Structure 1
Amino acid sequence: MRSFRALFAFLIGFALLIQPVVGNGPGSDTQYTYEITPVNISDTESVESMYHLSAVVYGTDSQVGMTRAAASTTVSRPKETISPALSGLIDVQFLVDDTKDQYYRVDARIVDDEFRLGATPVSARTVAEELAVAPDTTPTTIREILNGEPAHFYRISPTLVAKDDRFLLVEPANTECVADPLAVPKLISYAFGAALMVWSIGVKAYFGQ
């Protein structure tokens, strides 16, 4: 019976030390403050904020040059001749040509050891409509931000939300280290967990189990 109690106490103590509420330590936490930016599709300066979305790339000279060419016909190049900037087009859906205020839908891929790129000019509205998500499909953090709670301890990628016939860009605006609000309970959990483990080890040693 003593052996069972000691083992049970050891497991409880171990769990208290590794559970998520305790496991990251009682130090300072990183807090992110988010901002909501309305995206006016008819305003060139406003739609620039969509460059922050992971599916959109702000085109470099080499990317823009090849994308313009690909708008007329599919461009093919040996994959070993492609720069990292061009191969980066494989990971995005849209490219923006800032000098001409033009978005392109891009289809970049490697086929039979060749880099192939196709591109189609599209409007800013098309980009927004395809990338925006409804509020009820977003993570809880984004819904809370939309409801007026801008500060969170979780980092989320810039997200475009379609709400009330508007497009809203939610993205981190500021980062700061703040005192951990759970520091006291974490320290108590650490102490109690450690005490249980020490007690259980002592019981096993004393009774020779």
Structure 2
Amino acid sequence: MQSFTEAIFRLFDDLEARLAASGLPAGAVRAYLFGGCAVHMYQRNRVSEDLDAEFDYNLIHRDDVLLVLSELPPVAYDHPVMGLSKLAFDHRFNTTLCPLHMDYQDRATQLKRALPSPLTIWLPNPMDVAISKLGRLSTVDVADILVLLQDPAASWNEFERLATEASQYYVGRDLTGTIAYVKLQWQRRNGDVTGTEDVE
């Protein structure tokens, strides 16, 4: 049975096939991976039951993509603990409901480069994925943020700057206290309770 990583790309392959069948030209839709699946791409032991993706639409209406997502069947994969599990697109996911820096697309990396396709897949910078988790901030979200900030492409100082900027146009609650709480957890994790450090 396929791995969780393979299941992620299988779902995108299925979506790509549906979009191609509708006659869309190359590059018509960009998918930006978020949630547990994005964390998994940075830390392979993270799994999820749903795939969160933000779509940048070009030459297609948002509702048309949502319709395709709702029709896609889930993909089976081998969960390291639970065994047989399924992964499906969360067609309700919407980044307008979570904090996100306005320039996140500029820092994203294309994951899959193949023949011209109507769909391209992008992985946001680990700091942008971490920022998107500040809104809900469950125990799992905090753990994910700390893992993401350990990536070589991340630093606390830059994360704090981007998160503070993102909080200025976030529609939810004020994030000042949330950022301070995460900062404390980051300092404790790194044995530094007096200041901040870049990720080594």
Q: TM-score of the superposition, structure 1-length normalised?
A: 0.21
Larger fraction in strand: 1
Q: TM-score of the superposition, structure 2-length normalised?
A: 0.21
From the CA coordinates, give the structure whose radius of gyration is larger.
Answer: 1
